Structure 1
Amino acid sequence: MNINFKSYSLLFRKALKNKWVKATLVLAAVLIGLFFIFYGSIYFGFWGKIATSEELSSLQQAEATQVLDRNEDLIGKYYIYDRQPVQFADLPQHLIDALIATEDARFFEHDGIDNKSLLRVFFKTILLQDKSSGGGSTITLQLAKNLFGRNDYGLFSLPVNKLKESIVASRLEDIYSKNELLTLYFNTVPFSDNTYGIESAAHKFFNKSTQELNLSEAATLIGTLKANHSYNPRLFPERSQLRRDVVLQQMVKYDYLDAAKAKEIMNTSITLDYQFYDHNQGLAPYFRQQVKKDVEIILSDLKKPDGSPYDIYKDGLVIHTTLDSKLQTLAEASMSSHLRNLQQQYEKAHGKIPPWKNKTILNQAIQNSPVYKRFKAEGLSEAQIKDSLSQTKSLELFEWDNNITTKGTSIDSIQHYMKFLNTGMLSINPKDGAVLAYIGGIDYRYFKYDHISQSERQIGSTMKPFVYTTAIENGMDPCTYYSIKEVTYSDYEDWTPQNASEQKDPYLNYTLEKALSNSINTIAVKVLQDTGIENVHDMLRALGIEKKLSKEPSMVLGIDGIKLIDLAGAYASYVNAGKSVSPYYITKITDRNGSIIAEFNPKIAKNIAFKEYTRQVMVQMLQNTVANGTATRLRTEYKLTNDIAGKTGTTQDNKDGWFVGITPRLVTVTWVGNDNYNIGFPSTSLGQGANSALPIFAKLYQQLNKDNYFDKITKAKFIPPTPEVLADLDCEPEKRDGFLKRLFGKKKKEKKFTKN
């Protein structure tokens, strides 16, 4: 074939003389020049800095701080972006196949820019307006967008961002292998519900790690990448399932999946096991909030190797805790089950005019509310505050069965929440104080106040064992008898302590064991009188209760407010050789590389608070509380056969109900009451600790007994007491005064109370 170059040259020169051809060529040259100038302005940073190859070689994204339980199971996170990293080895092959088939079929063939796809987009999508033809973005381009986001450049936003991403994508392809790019992509890609990275998404939506995802779950998550909100499987399960099926069809199309297998999966529904890792919901929210507070204080004194401060939200720290998520789950279920029923009884017992509708009590609650105090601080008058609080708005209100949405005022909301009973519960290992379960309230979303770390409530009769312990430690015989008869103490304004239930025979005398197990107030005060208030204070300090306590005889009835967590640490002494513990819950904190940056050990009292003899006597007495005293319903109603010692507690006017359950390997303290101290239980039968607080412990142990995982706790036995202890407790639990003593006994009124 002969080519006449001379003829073509003549034709070309002739064409150049045509003004339209010449103008077109000039315009094309100008456009090409402008494009290169525009591209150069982006490349050299006129539109903002582009990450260099060196910077891309050391990528470090913000990572969520993880909170792990004692078995290293994930129970919570602190984050701005919910992200946890994974390695390539953690990515199942069907997950990788699903991504490539759906997002970038030629991923292993291109160098970051898929020219074939771009041509398809240009001709089909742009020129022919065929929206079904697909996009031209590659996994590497998406990764560039995930890493650095997009900025607003007005009319130039799309071209500038696209070109910046193409530059970054090319650099990424030069630095990383395809497998490394996939790993980076999976660690940075955003999923539904503000979740970043496949590991976080797997845990959040299916409660499992990435490597445990089955094909259906993997396809579901890949399907959400097209539109995080629209295909959110939590919000739109049907739409998400249709999108999952599209992913499976794409896998069939590109020979990653057999058609029959795909059809089998498409006939199944998506099954979520959704986990809430935000601060308000999920497992142990009060615990996680307290851990966060503590860790922020700890980190304030620490620096990274480069001298910069740690950030709990971005640095990918791992907080190892003592909490047992299995025990916590059962504890929360037991609490909810009991409080739901108790709340119904409580409201019904208060009748048609409950105290939360009392104007005086309501007005006081309004003035104590945060919203009132905020308005007051802003300088509003009483009339203005009342007007603001009376504005009608949409309210979502907590109820045990189902929350309600209604129209109402801030005053209506305050009144609504006044009626609720709240709770606190703590379970610790008595040997070292490790916190295994922590419930600060009934629902953290609506009741932020933590009754473990913040609240100090009167502890009622749970104070009595410490008084009896002091008495025995100071030489009192366990078989000492005391009269149940009421006595008036003239030096304390003629105070006459009474028993919770009327004693039909005032001439009865009880041993210490029976008096404690039946929580006899009159005898407790007499034991305190003979033991001495200061001696009891010394014992309490030895048990780790540092708060300054009352010096009045009523202290034995638990009039002092003590934190639940301190009470638990003190009671641990009865199964920890007479030593109290300081409950703790953080064992160590590691950085994203696994290096320990802080470590914590148990805090056990150095000295014993009481001798082994005293300890054994008290354990026997507290076991008798369960066998024959105020906590017998553990045996009769709940059919528990475990080795259990315990003490119930009820405060004046039935404001607080308590129960302390002691087993050889677990000490549990439960409290129930109304946050508004003006509102108590309407009756002792309803509000006493045996009815209000004990059932939480009982229901928990019913569940623990069903699971072999807890055998070390549930099957543990108390150390048998020595023959000496058994002999010293071997006496009739009660005796009646003889005729002469009844006739010539002491008068009811006594002159003085022994103050030590």
Structure 2
Amino acid sequence: MEITKESRLKTYKKPLLIFWSVFVVGILAGVLFFVGVSNGTFGFMPTFEELENPKSSLATEVYTADGELLGKFYFQNRSFIDHDELSPYLIDALIATEDVRFESHSGIDLRGLGRVAKGLITRDKNAGGGSTISQQLAKMLFPREEFNSKLDIVFRKFREWVIAVKLERSYTKEEIMTMYFNKYDFLNLAVGIKSAANVYFNTTPDSLKMEQAAMLVGMAKNSSYYNPLRRPELTKGRRNTVLSQMVKYAYLDKHVADSLKQLPLGIDYQKVDHKRGMAPYFREYLRMSLTAQKPERANYPSWNMQKFKQDSLEWEINPFYGWCNKNQKADGTPYNIYKDGLKIYTTLDSRMQKYAEQAVEEHLGLDLQKAFDREKENHRNPPFSDDLDDEAFEHQMDLSIRRSERHRVLKKKGLSFDEIKANFKKPVKMKIFTWKGERDTLLSPMDSMLYYKGFLRAGFMSMVPQTGEVRAYVGGPNYKHFMYDMVTLGKRQVGSTIKPFLYTLAMQEGLTPCDEVPNIPQTFILPDGSPWTSRNSTSAHSGEMVTLKWGLANSVNNISGWVLKQTKPDAVVSMARKMGVVSPIEPVPSIFLGTSDISVYEMVGAYGSFVNKGVYIKPRFITKIEDSKGNLVAQSVAQKNEVMNEKTAYLMTNLLKGVVQQGTGIRLRSKYGLRNPIGGKTGTTQNHSDGWFMGITPELVSGVWVGAEDRAIRFETIFYGQGANMALPIWALYMQKVYGDTDLNISKGDFEKPRGVNINLDCDAVSNEDTGASSDDFDDEDFF
């Protein structure tokens, strides 16, 4: 039977129709599928706005006044950089390893997909992946969800393709490359290439060497697996694979690559830890201050209403206290220092901060602590004073247990205090602080508490009096082990460092440093009708007429008592308030003994008034804040208050110079060789529990406190326990280093004399009294 043309057509018509129908339907289905993927029908798809502005948590960076990165606040330790800050080695290594056709494709590499398909068929594990850099970026910007089935994984892959294509349309190749490096998590709290370069090699992305860049790019395959800290050999092998890829695609000469492959990883690990690094106490103060909530009385215990008052005052007058909650971004949400990528520019100077930290470590670690430990060797309950009996010692330790976090946790579990106390006596493994570094040991929590109580603490702050800018801030000997900040949080009795407030009133009333007054006991009648009489710690010139300058220089209580009788305790409190002291001060006759608890921060601010010609400037820590795009969002303005006239301020600087020239601060000259114009005041509290030194120069005002956690832990004698021995050396060591750094350009000139002041301040010409004092003279010991 003959087959006609018509019959042949009829025979093939149906299959052709089916083929073309399936083909067209397939095309339409594919188009509709990708349209659905693009529209989010099959799962999350970012909007155009989200693609244009992908959300990332950016670390807030804190800078010093001299441009050094002081630290960061973050959820993720990520800082963005621009493309021109990337080393060319990074770009070449990434393209050679992950996406050799990066410059030519539009988000999807069809040849790469073909290679993957072939590898699946042949089961070739070395066939490579098909994900482009753009697709990998899509994964990082919009992370994978939890998948319930393999079908979900397939849909996610298609969504990544679409996102990659959209990214290619929204950004240039340079921008995609930069976003990739800024986004990738290199592990060990190194998110983004800027953090990774610093954490692993202590450098910046533009300064990475070829082998360093190759290692970091190699980590991008799987940073958990290729972790240079835990698997250095595997990481080195992966680095060498990257170098081989660079040779393969002509980014690197083979001989150079062979040489580089022999090199060790060369890790210079910089651990990311907010407890480490420069100025940790200061950084924590900034964090707490910037994120503070508006004080509510209900959130404060009844015994700490003073803290509520002080915080409320700070909320009102300090624009940076609670700044994040007082200010909003353009979208109406408050600022977040952990993810908004702010740049905070502080007043600290990195060099002066380093010198301050070194001074604290040198004096406490190399000198004072050793003397303290020697004194306590034979005590019955070291490190407590020997006048503390066993019952009082037990009470002190019970109080310490109740204040601890361990007690809070155990009590929450329902344990009684006796059970908790027994738990505190069980030895556990721990790392403990020593001045020679951390040490592994086995101690009970009780013994650990006792061990740490035996360390002397310190608080130090240094400020420019003309601007209020704080240049150095040390809240303790070691932030990791002694986290309580003794600059702003801690307050201790100030001893005789309060006396200049009293003498200021005398100068204001027309007295001068060379005026003579009787050195005799002064008796006051207390509110209950009982008498209280001042007592001196020295018998020098007892019963004689002496100058006010000699009286302050040697911290003679009889002279302070005489001055107080010319004014009133209320006037001293008022003067302290004008000079920035907000802590409670009782207006009682013994006010000049310094029994009030005041912070180093307050005292430094107050003494700045003497140098700044009678104008108090509130200490400042921040100059400005910028957002992640460099826009100025906050700027500091000095808060000033005129306290006294220029003449009074100048007379006070002269009085304070006398302390260093002939009084309790003379060892600044005799021992430390600081012979330029310096004023100061030592302070020692009852039983030598606290040692202070406040020092002024024309360009810097600095204050030091030294003591122990408990007032019952102290030196037994005034020889070691006086402020001139406990605190003054830290100030001296700091200033030696500051003066030694010529780049700081700190002048050694004298305090400026105001016009019209013609008072004779050469008291030797006025009086023939013996005003000399040796470096071994004792400081003031206050008697009640």
Task: Name the CA shift for 1:272/1:463 in 2 (closer, same or farther; >3 Å).
Answer: farther
Aligned 1:3-402 pairs, distance under 5 A? 45=40, 48-53=43-48, 55-124=50-119, 131=125, 134-154=128-148, 156=150, 159-229=154-224, 231-232=226-227, 244-259=239-254, 261-262=256-257, 278-296=273-291, 297-341=322-366, 342-352=368-378, 353-356=380-383, 358-373=393-408, 375-376=410-411, 380-402=415-437
Deviation at 1:82, TM superposition (A): 1.6
Name the aligned partner's letter for residue 519 of structure 1: S
Name the aligned partner's letter for residue 304 of structure 1: K
Deviation at 1:552, TM superposition (A): 2.4
Q: CA RMSD in A?
A: 3.7
SS in 1 for 2:472: strand
Name the aligned partner's letter for residue 559 of structure 1: T
* Pair 1:534 & 2:570 matched: yes
SS in 1 for 2:332: coil
* Pair 1:674 & 2:703 matched: no
Name the aligned partner's letter for residue 620 of structure 2: Y
CA contact (8 A) 2:646 2:754 kept: no
Name the aligned partner's letter for residue 49 of structure 1: F
Deviates more, 1:539-548 or 1:568-577: 539-548
Task: Name the CA shift for 1:82/1:647 in 2 (closer, same or farther; >3 Å).
Answer: same
CA distance in 1, matches of 2:647, 2:35: 87
Name the aligned partner's letter for residue 348 of structure 1: R
Aligned 1:484-633 pairs, distance under 5 A? 484=519, 495-500=532-537, 502-503=538-539, 506-507=542-543, 509-605=545-641, 607=642, 609-633=643-667
Task: Name the CA shift for 1:265/1:656 in 2 (closer, same or farther; >3 Å).
Answer: farther
SS in 1 for 2:691: strand
Deviation at 1:705, TM superposition (A): 2.5
SS in 1 for 2:740: coil
SS in 1 for 2:680: strand
Task: Name the CA shift for 1:307/1:613 in 2 (closer, same or farther; >3 Å).
Answer: closer
CA distance in 2, matches of 1:419, 1:107: 63
Deviation at 1:306, TM superposition (A): 2.4
Residue of structure 2 in register with 1:445 after alignment: 480
Task: Name the CA shift for 1:234/1:700 in 2 (closer, same or farther; >3 Å).
Answer: farther
CA distance in 2, matches of 1:134, 1:498: 88
Structure 1 residues 709-752: Cα deviation after superposition (integer angstroms, max 9, x where no partner): 211x2445422577723446344666389xxxxxxxxxxxxxxx
SS in 2 for 1:618: helix
* Aligned length, in residue pairs: 712
CA contact (8 A) 1:509 1:734 kept: no
CA contact (8 A) 1:514 1:734 kept: no
CA distance in 1, matches of 2:679, 2:498: 15
Name the aligned partner's letter for residue 396 of structure 2: I
Name the aligned partner's letter for residue 573 of structure 1: S
Structure 1 residues 217-236: Cα deviation after superposition (integer angstroms, max 9, x where no partner): 43443343344355555666
CA contact (8 A) 1:94 1:218 kept: yes
Structure 1 residues 69-112: Cα deviation after superposition (integer angstroms, max 9, x where no partner): 22343212211112222222222322212222333333223333
Aligned 1:459-498 pairs, distance under 5 A? 459-484=494-519, 495-498=532-535
Task: Name the CA shift for 1:239/1:719 in 2 (closer, same or farther; >3 Å).
Answer: farther
Name the aligned partner's letter for residue 653 of structure 1: N
Structure 1 residues 676-729: Cα deviation after superposition (integer angstroms, max 9, x where no partner): 222222332222222221222222222222322211x24454225777234463
CA distance in 2, matches of 1:348, 1:173: 71
CA distance in 2, matches of 1:404, 1:735: 55
Unmatched tracts of structure 1, length 5 or more: 1-5, 17-30, 738-752
Residue of structure 2 in register with 1:741 after alignment: none
Structure 1 residues 497-536: Cα deviation after superposition (integer angstroms, max 9, x where no partner): 4444x43664555322222222223332333233432332
SS in 1 for 2:759: helix
Residue of structure 2 in register with 1:24 after alignment: none
Residue of structure 2 in register with 1:409 after alignment: 444
CA distance in 2, matches of 1:655, 1:208: 45
Task: Name the CA shift for 1:426/1:644 in 2 (closer, same or farther; >3 Å).
Answer: same
Deviates more, 1:568-577 or 1:728-737: 728-737
Name the aligned partner's letter for residue 75 of structure 1: L
Task: Name the CA shift for 1:268/1:660 in 2 (closer, same or farther; >3 Å).
Answer: farther
CA distance in 2, matches of 1:494, 1:71: 56
Task: Name the CA shift for 1:718/1:386 in 2 (closer, same or farther; >3 Å).
Answer: same
Task: Name the CA shift for 1:277/1:44 in 2 (closer, same or farther; >3 Å).
Answer: same
Task: Name the CA shift for 1:652/1:132 in 2 (closer, same or farther; >3 Å).
Answer: farther
Task: Name the CA shift for 1:111/1:457 in 2 (closer, same or farther; >3 Å).
Answer: same
Residue of structure 1 in register with 2:696 after alignment: 662
CA contact (8 A) 1:75 1:277 kept: no
Deviation at 1:603, TM superposition (A): 0.9
Residue of structure 2 in register with 1:691 after alignment: 725
CA distance in 2, matches of 1:236, 1:673: 46
CA contact (8 A) 1:477 1:728 kept: no
CA distance in 1, matches of 2:536, 2:245: 77
Task: Name the CA shift for 1:155/1:397 in 2 (closer, same or farther; >3 Å).
Answer: farther
* Pair 1:719 & 2:752 matched: yes
Deviation at 1:187, TM superposition (A): 1.5
CA distance in 2, matches of 1:65, 1:231: 28
* Pair 1:707 & 2:741 matched: yes
Residue of structure 1 in register with 2:295 after alignment: none
CA distance in 1, matches of 2:557, 2:259: 70
Deviation at 1:583, TM superposition (A): 0.7
Scaled by the length of structure 1, what TM-score is found? 0.84
Task: Name the CA shift for 1:733/1:455 in 2 (closer, same or farther; >3 Å).
Answer: farther
CA contact (8 A) 2:352 2:471 kept: yes
CA contact (8 A) 1:419 1:674 kept: yes
SS in 1 for 2:333: coil
Task: Name the CA shift for 1:729/1:268 in 2 (closer, same or farther; >3 Å).
Answer: farther
Deviation at 1:122, TM superposition (A): 4.9
CA distance in 2, matches of 1:678, 1:457: 13
CA distance in 1, matches of 2:46, 2:535: 78
SS in 2 for 1:218: helix
CA distance in 2, matches of 1:262, 1:691: 61
Deviates more, 1:352-361 or 1:469-478: 352-361
Deviates more, 1:372-381 or 1:282-291: 372-381
Deviation at 1:562, TM superposition (A): 1.1
